[in-house]
């Protein structure tokens, strides 16, 4: 039975002082990957990196995205397990793991914009909290959800743990 009370919105939830706000690393599309690594290592915890262009969020980079890029492009211990053993040097094709297009893209990538994912899951401040929760849980579960204004600028972030705590401590409004 509905009580006539409207559903809580993302904006209402973010305005709750008990809700933690996660600082995200926001970088420009033209930031060099080396600088991106330096900035990401300065964070206290693993975070996603949001990429902006002209003030709007246009993509994201996870720690996994960055690690995969470095593994595929750097001559270091990051990818020694992918190299053929010395006595197999003459054999080709055994250790091919990526398509030519993937390799070319990864090898030529130099900036955050080159390696960012553009399929960005997000919500708006005016969305019901239930919609944001479903966005985080549908498909591959994500732990941080950017909240974007209509112009694409960042209004805040929702953390899955905060949502879970809220859902456990507040009775359903439906």
pLDDT digits (tens), the chain, 174 positions: 444 456 899 999 998 555 545 567 889 999 998 898 888 887 766 667 888 899 899 999 888 888 888 777 765 444 344 444 444 444 444 454 555 445 444 456 789 998 898 999 999 999 999 999 999 999 989 888 999 999 999 888 999 998 999 889 887 754
Domain-located, residue 5: no
Residue 67 included in any domain: yes
Exposure string over 8-18, b if 16+ CB within 10 A, otherwise e: ebbeebbeeee
Query: Which of 172, 138, 135 minimizes the C-alpha distance to 157?
Result: 135
CA atoms of 120 and 111, how far apart (whole Å): 18
What is the spatial distance between Cα 141 and Cα 121, in angstroms, rounded to a whole number? 11
8-state DSSP, 77: G
- Residue 108 in any domain: the answer is yes
Query: Residue 65 is encoded by which pair of tokens?
Result: 């995205």
Q: Which three-class secondary structure state does DSSP give residue 106?
A: helix
Residues in the chain: 174
Answer whether 154's CB lies under 8 Å from 50's CB: yes
Q: Kindly state whether residue 84 falls inside one of the protein's structural domains.
A: yes
Cα distance between residue 33 and residue 173, in whole Å: 45
Please indicate, yes or no, if residue 2 is contained in any of the structural domains: no
Nearest to 127 by CA among 10, 43, 33: 10
Report the number of distinct structural domains present in the chain. Answer: 1
The range of the structural domain enclosing residue 146 comes to 10-169
Report the CATH number at residue 95: 3.10.580.10
Domain membership flag for residue 28:
yes
């Amino acid at each position: 039975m509905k009580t006539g009370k409207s559903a809580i919105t993302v904006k209402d939830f973010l305005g709750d002082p008990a809700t933690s706000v996660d600082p995200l690393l926001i970088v420009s599309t033209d930031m060099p990957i080396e600088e991106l690594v330096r900035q990401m290592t300065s964070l206290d915890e693993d975070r996603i990196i949001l990429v902006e262009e002209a003030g709007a969020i246009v993509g994201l980079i996870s720690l996994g995205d960055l690690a995969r890029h470095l593994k595929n492009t750097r001559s270091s211990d990051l990818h020694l397990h992918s190299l053929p053993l010395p006595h197999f040097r003459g054999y080709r094709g055994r250790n091919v793991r990526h398509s030519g297009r993937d390799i070319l893209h990864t090898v030529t990538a130099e900036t955050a914009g080159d390696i960012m994912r553009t399929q960005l899951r997000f919500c708006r401040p005016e969305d019901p909290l239930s919609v944001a929760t479903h966005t985080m849980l549908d498909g591959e579960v994500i732990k941080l959800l950017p909240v974007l204004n209509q112009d694409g600028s960042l209004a805040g972030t929702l953390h899955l743990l905060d949502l879970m705590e809220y859902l456990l401590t507040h009775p359903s409004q439906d």
